[in-house]
Amino acid sequence: MKSAATLLSLLLLVLSVPIFMVFGLGSAATAIWGMNLPWSTLIQVSFGSMTKHVLIAVPLFIFTGMVMLRGGAAARLVHFATTLVGHWPGGLGIAMILAMGFFAAFCGSILAAITAVGTIMIPQMVNQGYPKPFVIVLAASAAFLEALIPPSNAAILFSALTDVPVSRTFAAGFVPGFILIVLLGTLVTWKCRHLRNLKKATARERLSAFWAAIPGLFTPVIILGGIYTGLLTPSESAAVAGIWAIIIGAVFYREITVAGILAALHETARITAVIFAIIAMATFLSVVLTYSQTPQKIIGFFTEMGGTPLMFWLAVAIICLILGTFIEIVPVFYLTVPIFAALALSLNQDILHLYIVFVAFAGIGMITPPVCVGIYTAAGVARESPEKAFREVPLFVGLGIVFGLLMVFLPAAATWLPDVLN
């Protein structure tokens, strides 16, 4: 029966059935008919997984980003980044990376970051002579900063799975996020060094752009300041950020409307429904793994084989790289993190190091066919066929692998700041 359920899951995956249905049907069949577990057990565990307090922050951060997009904050952040570095070699590309980093600090949605920043930057870069396929893949790659720079939905989901405090998981992403910005900026500078650049902004123009962007730049201070001072929980901080986003759009920029807020709520509901459907169905799989003692068996096998920490990290890298190519990052979290976390603890490896290595390699899937949702989104913004952008993918995949290996061999990048703040 278990093999039949596995075959059913693989068949559904090949048929492009939504991933939450693949998890749900295959795991439910195994649990009910293969392990004689009652439906009530699956429903109770699934409900419990979706009602964890920390997950309340997920839709609230998405809502904040959507309101920022419609309220004018995103446009002003992009303009500020452009005035800073637009005159450098590859300056518009670097400005896009910085703007993605800024937007990631209050957005919580990779696809929203691509839409918000890409809508402004991609046409400007193409008009300036940047190759459209390169710009598309750069936008998808830079948006991956959202998974590292806090607040991050990836960090919230990881904390929900491992019971690591969200504040520590947030802090773990700061240094790796900065390293990725430097790597992407170096690549863009080299690749686009022969393109014409914008005229250098004057000091007055930079000051004006900074002044206009201050309300948006203050948002991460509210979010992270509330968390690290202990005044707010992550969920409360996200709620305050959402209210602040509305104030910015209505009072400072006067661009947000009731229709815009309703549209932001609609988009938030749509994205949240997808995430929570995956969480609910992936929990069925966790029930099967728990009752079959799969993590314990894997740990025992790995120990008996004489597995070393280096072998473990390389296994994590390869598995995440493969799964990330075919499955989006949220289901990969729920499919593998419980097992990886148990293995990491058995080998005395830091769980925050696991988070960064996991995200680094699973995130490469955002730009690798056939899934590559990041490229499809950026291509939609650029009004270009995504297939034309695929020729630029190997360059960025190579950069992603370099970044991932740096994270494997530099655990302090993930653990230093959380330890300092602790």
* Rg for the chain, CA atoms, rounded: 22
Tokens encoding 337: 């993190």
In this predicted structure, which of 10-19, 309-318, 376-385 has the lowest mean pLDDT?
10-19
- The pair of three-digit structure tokens given for residue 341, joined into one six-digit string: 């976390």
Residue pointed to by tokens 């123009």: 205
- Mean pLDDT across 233-247: 91
pLDDT top residue among 14 and 256: 256
Tokens 């939504």 belong to residue: 18
Count up the domains in the chain and report the number: 1
Q: Give kind and range of the element (H or E) at residue 400.
A: helix 393-409
Reduced to 3 states (helix: H, G, I; strand: E, B; else coil), residue 15 is: coil
Tell me, what's the pLDDT at 66?
86
The per-residue pLDDT for 15 is 67
Band of pLDDT at residue 108, cut at 50, 70 and 90: low
Q: Which residues have C-beta within 8 Å of that of residue 40, sequence separation ≥ 6?
A: none
| Residue 194: exposure state from Cβ atoms within 10 A (0-12, 13-18, ≥19) | exposed
Q: How confident is the model at residue 128 (pLDDT cuts 50, 70, 90)?
A: confident
Q: Rounded to an integer, what distance in angstroms lies between the CA atom of residue 76 and that of residue 207?
A: 12
**pTM of structure:** 0.86
Contacts of 364 (CB under 8 A, 6+ apart): 321, 324, 325, 397, 400, 401, 404
The rounded distance, in Å, linking the Cα atoms of 406 and 312 is 15
First to last CA, the chain: 48
Average pLDDT of 174-180?
94
Question: Cβ neighbours of residue 272 under 8 Å, at least 6 residues apart?
Answer: 58, 59, 62
DSSP character at residue 81: H
User: What is the per-residue pLDDT across 339-364, written as a single tens digit (0 to 9) for each?
Assistant: 889 889 888 999 999 999 999 998 88
Q: Which residues contact 321 (CB under 8 A, 6 or more apart)?
A: 361, 362, 364, 365, 401, 404
pLDDT at 58 exceeding the cut of 90: no
So what's the pLDDT on residue 83? Answer: 92
pLDDT attached to residue 134:
94
What's the confidence (pLDDT) of residue 231? 87
Q: Is the pLDDT of residue 12 over 70?
A: no
Angle at 128 between CA 126 and CA 134, to 5 degrees: 40
pLDDT of residue 387: 85
Residue 16 zone, left/alpha/beta (φ > 0; ψ -120 to 50; rest): left
- Top-confidence residue, 290 or 164: 164
* Mean per-residue pLDDT over the chain, rounded: 85
Cα 397 to Cα 179, 183, 186, 362, 415, distances in angstroms: 16, 12, 15, 11, 25
Instruction: List pLDDT tens digits, range 380-420.
Output: 888 888 888 898 999 999 999 999 999 999 999 999 999 99
Q: How confident is the model at residue 283 (pLDDT cuts 50, 70, 90)?
A: confident
Res 249: pLDDT:
93
How much of the chain exceeds pLDDT 70, in percent?
Answer: 92
Residue ranges of alpha helices (H) inside 233-308 are: 234-247, 258-291, 294-304
Rounded to an integer, the average pLDDT of 257-276 is: 89
Q: What is the mean pLDDT of residues 141-161?
A: 87
Give the structural domain span for 354: 2-421
61-106: pLDDT as tens digits? 889 888 988 888 888 988 899 999 888 888 899 999 988 888 766 6
Residue-level pLDDT at 354: 95
Q: Please list, in sequence order, all residues whose beta carbon lies within 8 angstroms of the beta carbon of residue 190, skipping any fewer than 6 positions away.
A: 90
How far is Cα 139 from Cα 372, in angstroms, rounded to an integer? 12
pLDDT class of 7 with cuts at 50, 70, 90: low
Closest CA to 268 of 247, 240, 232, 242: 242
